[in-house]
Amino acid sequence: MTRQRLAILGATGSIGSSTLDVVARHPDRFELTTLSAHSQVDALVALCRRFRPARAVVSDPAAYAALRDGLADAGLDTEAHAGPEALEAAAEAADTDTVVAAIVGAAGMSSTLAAARAGKRILLANKESVVLAGDLLMREIRAHGARVLPVDSEHNAIFQCLPGDPAQRGGVRRVLLTASGGPFRGFTRAQLAGVTPEQACAHPNWSMGRKISVDSATLMNKGLEVIEAHWLFGLDRARIDVVVHPQSIVHSLVDYVDGSMLAQLGQPDMRTALAYGLAWPERIDSGVGTLDLAALGRLDFEAPDHATFPCLGLAYAALAAGGTAPAVLNAANEVAVSAFLQGRAGFLDIPALLQATLDALETHPADSLDATLAADAEARRVAGALLPRLAGQARPDTTYGTP
């Protein structure tokens, strides 16, 4: 068996760790060519000791010397590299077949685009790449013969439930993305006014990083997934719905015009989607246990509360506006979530800052990477300037965008 050669960009995060867990179960199937981190040198060197990749990359150039010395002290032949250009080079490398795009946030966009231009098989966990530059990314994928396998649990579920041939998808009425509702499902806006970062990061079902945990708590994560689904599956916003499913067992559904609805079910464990992406079109052991439906007893579904969690509606509005609006939304969200995690803003300030930033900036065509990056940078500047004036001013009875 020819081993699949993998680059895992974002190896020290939760997605990277889950990917490596699956890879370790199948040493005969996979060979690691690149592991990357932002600046967690000790963790990256420890992974290199175990998996012996050809190269290790830190995106923070200031961490290069520590990485180089750490690899040398460990007696490893792994090459040390640093900086965004090194990430792009790793994504394009001839010794790599598959790139796991697991860098969080806008920082992962350029390396994902590089993998697309190199015609790689891309296991896409970096939803921001699609939100910021969906049109550009999909054009590059088509132009260079790359293949995207989504490994977000929701998009992976839709991928599994859709016909493999896009020409056969005329019978699809809509897709339904499931949302757990996060730790604050059932809260009122008044209750949300005083929640803490620690509460927001305590997801009831999934083990995730702090930024994505806050996005789940605000439902912004689901909003970004709506935008992502639009580009990945070629669906307009009217055919992408969200349903709250607190057990996180049904990962998403596809509704067909004949009345059929197909769903993918599984434990709330990212290794299932990652194993599917790694081995597709085959299936391999992921280390995830089977479902005991009798023990579960029930599966619940409810409509999302747009009034209490307006970030979802703001994402629909940004998708409708098109152009650079999704990039502005994403950038403002990263600023807002960072401020919330640092204690510089409240939970309700997050949608307030998103709305204010969208209102402050005109929408332009997102027809190039430069245009997208310019919109991202301007949105961060504007959101940063607005934050001191907005922080603590959001009222529990304030309403924002509508879906």
Q: Where are the domains of the chain?
A: 4-150
C-alpha–C-alpha distance, residues 132 and 68, integer Å: 33
221 is in an annotated binding site: yes
Max CA pair span of the chain = 63
For residue 300, name the pLDDT band (cuts at 50, 70, 90).
Answer: very high
Q: Which amino acid is at 369?
A: L
CATH class of 4-150: alpha beta
Is residue 203 a known part of a binding site?
yes
pTM: 0.91
Q: At what angle do helices 109-117 and 127-144 cross, to 10 degrees?
A: 10
**What is the pLDDT, as a whole number, of residue 212?**
86
Q: Is 18 annotated as a binding residue?
A: no
Query: For residue range 247-299, what is the model confidence (pLDDT) as tens digits?
Result: 999 999 999 999 999 999 999 999 999 999 999 999 999 999 999 999 999 99
127: annotated binding-site residue?
yes
Whole-number Å distance between alpha carbons of 337 and 217: 11
Residues facing 150 on adjacent strands:
124
Is 36 annotated as ligand-binding?
no
Annotation-wise, does 154 bind a ligand? yes
Q: Any known ligand binding at 330?
A: no
- Average the pLDDT over 23-30 and give the result: 97
Of 60-64, 117-121, 123-127, 238-242, give the lowest mean pLDDT range. Answer: 123-127
In this structure, what token pair is assigned to residue 388?
């001191």
Q: Are 96 and 9 in contact (CB under 8 A)?
A: no
Q: How confident is the model at residue 169, as a pLDDT? A: 82
- CA–CA separation, 387 and 11 (whole Å): 32
For residues 173-189, one letter each, b for 16 or more C-beta atoms within 10 angstroms of the residue's C-beta and e for the rest, the string is ebbbbbbbbbbbbebeb
Instruction: Using DSSP, state whether 255 is helix, strand or coil.
Output: strand
Query: Under 8 Å CB-to-CB from 244, ≥6 apart: which residues?
Result: 178, 179, 180, 181, 185, 301, 302, 303, 304
- Sheet of strand 55-58: strand arrangement: 79-82, 55-58, 30-37, 4-9, 98-101, 121-124, 147-150
152 in a labelled binding site: yes
Q: Is 338 annotated as a binding residue?
A: no
pLDDT tens for each residue of 149-192: 999 999 999 999 998 777 778 899 999 999 999 999 999 999 99
CB of 31 closer than 8 Å to CB of 43: no
Is 14 part of any known ligand binding site?
Answer: yes
26 is in an annotated binding site: no
User: Hey, what are 294's tokens?
Assistant: 């009798």
Strands of 250-256's sheet in order across: 240-244, 172-179, 250-256, 261-265
Q: Which amino acid is at 59?
A: S
CB 275 within 8 A of CB 286: yes
- Alpha-carbon distance of 24 to 231, in angstroms, equals 32
